[in-house]
Structure formats: structure tokens, C-alpha cells
Structure 1
Amino acid sequence: MIHFVGAGSGAPDLITVRGAKLLKEADVIIYAGSLVNPQLLDYKREGCRVYNSARMTLEEVLDVMMDAEKKGLVTVRLHTGDPCLYGAIREQMDVLDEKSISYDYTPGVSAFCGAASALNLEYTLPDVSQSVIITRMEGRTPVPEKESIQSFAAHHATMVIFLSTGMLEELSRRLIEGGYTADTPAAIVYKATWPDEKAYLCTVGTLAETAEKNNITKTALMIVGDIVTHSHYDRSRLYDPGFSTEFRQGTDQP
């Protein structure tokens, strides 16, 4: 059996209870060593074989999985955050499907959740933003043309931008071209929930300047939108005494 497990955003105690249990039971762990906190390997049992996929190709990862399956071993494929975001899990699962090898998937806490906790943010504030766009700049790996930063910026929704720390001048230019103003609130969160986490408030126009000033060159994500400053928003109707729900009669009802 192969278990895909989300490691969480960084702090070792933010892995799920299920994920920690699977790590303790694993005979083989293949972990994304460039991003996963190595302290999570403290969960492993004695005799567990550990592989760092940062040094491996897809084919090499799959070879380790196949070898473990032949020997009747339990494998945990440990990905950073929640592997449904930029985790490259589908290409692994497709091969396992072709070979009729069983697997399952345990979600984890994504870095975009960890970044919100670093700044005590709510991404969806009434009358400010009710949508979150998670995306990235194209680098050596392209993105579909219809998903350009400019096209997403036109919505003025909350944006969380992964994998783009080295392209912040271009990111600012595209955000402004798409419709944000240079003084739109923004933030940079470095290594969310790790012990060396850093979080900086800035604007769309000062993203690159803020990163350079604080020596942030990688392992960060950017948050863009008025929710960053959360200075003006409407109260939630859910807890308004005048609003009726299935569970409570509001004072505005006869």
C-alpha cells in the first residue's frame, strides 16, 4: 500500500493525526526534502528506509515504490503542505493506476493556510472579498495563457501567489497591468509556520523592494488584496442577532 501524505506547512505538529500515524507505520518514506521539515522524520519507526525525492526523478521515485510493493512493504510519499497544490501527485497516481497498485491520500495544511495564520488573516471578508485565487507566475514551467496574473488581477479578489519569489518585479507589473493599484495591500510570508517564519506587510508596488530589504529569495508566498489590512469590512450575517438561521431565530423576524 502507498500512502500520499500532506506534511503540512512546516511546523512538525501541524501534520494531521492520520498523517503522523502513517509515518509511524511506514516501512519506506519518500519525502520532498527540499521543502518538508526534516523533523517530521522523527515520527518514523526504527528500520524505516528514507529517501529524499529532491535528488530523485519521477522514475526513481516510482522504482522505490514498486520495489516496496513487491516486498509487501508500506510506503509513505510525504509531500509538503497539501499535495493537491503544486504537489505533482497526479503523475505518480496515474502510473500506480496503470499497474493496479493501491494507494490513498491524506490531506495536509497548505502553506496558504499557514500564511494566513502568520498574519492572523481571514481571506474571505464580507463586502471585501469572498473568493481566493491561488496561482503562480510562469517560470521554467509555463502556466495556461488563460490563467495569466493579469487576468486574475482583474477580479480584484484575494490572491495567494506561490512559487514566484524570484520574479517579484514582474509580478508587481502584471498585477498593476491587470487592475490592482500600486498601493493595494500585499504581504510576503517566508516559511509559514516554521521556526524561522517571517511575515512582512507591503503593497503591490513594493513587493520586490520588501523582499530584497529582508533577504527573501525563495520559500515564500505573496498575498494580495484588501483583506491584508482588513480595515473596512461588513459584520458576518451568520452571527448577527438580527439574522435567522436553521438553529437560531433572529430579532428581525416576527
Structure 2
Amino acid sequence: MIHFVGAGSGAPDLITVRGQRLLQQADVIIYAGSLVNPALLDNAKAGCEIYDSAKMTLEHVLEVMTAAEKQGKTTVRLHTGDPSIYGAIREQMDLLDEAGFDYDVTPGVSSFCGAAAALKAEYTLPDVSQTVIITRMAGRTPVPEKEEISLLASHGATMAIFLSAGMLEQLRERLLKGGYTENTPAAIVYKATWPDEKQVIGTVGTLPQMAKEHGISKTALILVGGFLGDKYERSKLYDPAFTTEFRKATK
């Protein structure tokens, strides 16, 4: 059996209970070495075979999985954050389907959740934004033309921008073209929930300067939107004047 497991956003105790149990049971672990906290490998049992996928191709990963399956071993494919977000798991699962191998997926805490926790922020504030756009800048890997940053920015929603910390001049330009202003709140969270986490808060206009001053060029999430400000409406759910299925209005 092959288990795709989300490692969480960084801190080793943010992996799920299920994910930790699977790590402890695994005969083979293939982990994303450039992104996953190596402390998680302390869960591996004696004799477990451990592979760093940062040095492997898709074909090599499949070779290791295939060899383990033929020997009746349990494999954990350990991905950073939640494997459903920029995890490149679909291509692996399609090959496993072709080979007739069983697998499952255990979700994890994505870095966009870890970043919000680090900032003590809520992405979906009433009367500010009820939508979170998770996206990335086009780089060596393109994005669909209709998902160009300025088009997404035109919605004015909360944005969590991955894999773009090294392109902040271009990102600022695209965000401003889309309708955000120079003064729109923005934050950079470097390695959310890791011991060396950094949080830098400023505005869209100061994004490049923020990164330069704090030496951040990769492994960071860019957050943009009014949710980082101090103006919002109180939630109706807990408003005494609002009736719900479980509580009648008292005002």
C-alpha cells in the first residue's frame, strides 16, 4: 500500500495523527527533502528505507514505489503542507492506477493555514472578503492565461500567493494593475511554523523592499488583502440580533 501524506506546514507536531502513525509504520519513506522538515523522519522505524525526492525524477519515484509494492512493503510519499496544493501528486497517482497499485491520501496543514496562524489573521472577514484565492506567479512553470495575477487581483479578494517570493517586483506590478492600491495591506511569511519563521507586514507597494530588508527570496508565502487591516463587520452568526437554527434573537 502507498500512502500520500501531507507533512504539514513545517512544525513537526503539525502533522496529523494519522500521518504520524503512517510514518511510524512505513517500510519506505519518500519525502520532499527541499521542503519537508527532516525532524519528521524521527518517526521512521529502524530499517526504514528513506529517499529524498528532491534528487529524484517522477520515474525514479515510481521505480522505488514499484519495488516496495512487489516486496509487500508499505510506502509513505511525504509531501509538504497538504499534497493537494502544488503537490504534483496527480501524475504519481495516474501512474499508480496504470500499474494497478493501491494508494490513499492523508491531508495536511497547508502553509497558507500556517501563515494565517502565524499572523493571527482570519482570511474571511465579514464585509471585507469571503473568498481566498490561492495562486502563484508564472515562472519557469507557466500558469493558464486566464489565471494571470492581475485578472485574479481584480476581484479584490484575499490572496495567498505561493512560489513567488523571488519575483516581487513583477508581482507588485501585476497586483497594482489588477486593482489593488499601493496601500493595500500585504504580508510575507517565511517558512510558516518553522523555528526560523519570519513575518513581515506592510503593503503591496512595499513588498519588494520588505523582502530585501529581511533577506527573503524563497520559501515564503505572500498574503494580500484587507483582511490584514483593522476594519470589518461583526459576524452575524454570533450577533444577538440574528436568529439561527439553534438560537433565537434576543434584541
Superposition deviation, residue 133 in structure 1: 0.2
Letter matched to residue 82 of structure 1: D
Superposition deviation, residue 72 in structure 1: 0.2
Superposition deviation, residue 40 in structure 1: 0.2
Letter matched to residue 244 of structure 1: T
C-alpha separation between the residues in 2 aligned to 1:55 and 1:208?
31
Letter matched to residue 29 of structure 2: I
Superposition deviation, residue 243 in structure 1: 1.0
Structure 2 partner of 1:143: 143
Q: Deviations over 1:88-135 (max 9, x none)?
A: 000000000111110000000000000001100000000000000000
**Equivalent residues in 2 for 1:197-212, closer than 5 Å:** 197-212=197-212
Letter matched to residue 197 of structure 2: E
C-alpha separation between the residues in 2 aligned to 1:178 and 1:236?
28
- Aligned pair 1:195/2:199, yes or no? no
C-alpha separation between the residues in 2 aligned to 1:31 and 1:15?
14
Kindly report the root-mean-square deviation, in angstroms, between the aligned alpha carbons of the 2 structures.
Answer: 0.5
C-alpha separation between the residues in 2 aligned to 1:69 and 1:248?
54
Letter matched to residue 105 of structure 1: V
Letter matched to residue 72 of structure 2: G
- Aligned pair 1:50/2:50, yes or no? yes
Structure 2 partner of 1:110: 110
Superposition deviation, residue 249 in structure 1: 1.2
Q: Deviations over 1:36-83 (max 9, x none)?
A: 000000011111000000000000000000000000000000000001
Letter matched to residue 78 of structure 2: L
TM normalised by structure 2 equals 0.99
Structure 2 partner of 1:250: 249
C-alpha separation between the residues in 2 aligned to 1:225 and 1:31?
33
Instruction: After the TM superposition, list the runs of 4 or more consecutive aligned residues in structure 1 that deviate by more than 2 angstroms.
Output: none
Identity %: 70
Structure 2 gap segments, 5+ residues each: none
Structure 1 gap segments, 5+ residues each: none
Superposition deviation, residue 246 in structure 1: 1.1
Structure 1 partner of 2:164: 164
Letter matched to residue 41 of structure 1: L
Letter matched to residue 12 of structure 1: P
C-alpha separation between the residues in 2 aligned to 1:244 and 1:47?
59
C-alpha separation between the residues in 1 aligned to 2:202 and 2:211?
10
C-alpha separation between the residues in 2 aligned to 1:98 and 1:50?
25
**Equivalent residues in 2 for 1:1-254, closer than 5 Å:** 1-229=1-229, 231-252=230-251
Letter matched to residue 178 of structure 1: G
C-alpha separation between the residues in 2 aligned to 1:78 and 1:200?
29
C-alpha separation between the residues in 2 aligned to 1:122 and 1:77?
31
C-alpha separation between the residues in 1 aligned to 2:242 and 2:17?
37
C-alpha separation between the residues in 2 aligned to 1:235 and 1:74?
49
C-alpha separation between the residues in 1 aligned to 2:197 and 2:108?
18
C-alpha separation between the residues in 2 aligned to 1:154 and 1:137?
15
C-alpha separation between the residues in 2 aligned to 1:208 and 1:188?
10
Secondary structure in 2 aligned to 1:166? Answer: coil
Q: Deviations over 1:188-225 (max 9, x none)?
A: 00000000000010110110110000000110010000
Secondary structure in 2 aligned to 1:77? Answer: strand
C-alpha separation between the residues in 1 aligned to 2:231 and 2:225?
12
C-alpha separation between the residues in 1 aligned to 2:44 and 2:4?
15
Q: Deviations over 1:168-200 (max 9, x none)?
A: 000000000111111110000000000000001
Secondary structure in 2 aligned to 1:201? Answer: strand
C-alpha separation between the residues in 1 aligned to 2:231 and 2:210?
25
C-alpha separation between the residues in 1 aligned to 2:233 and 2:165?
32
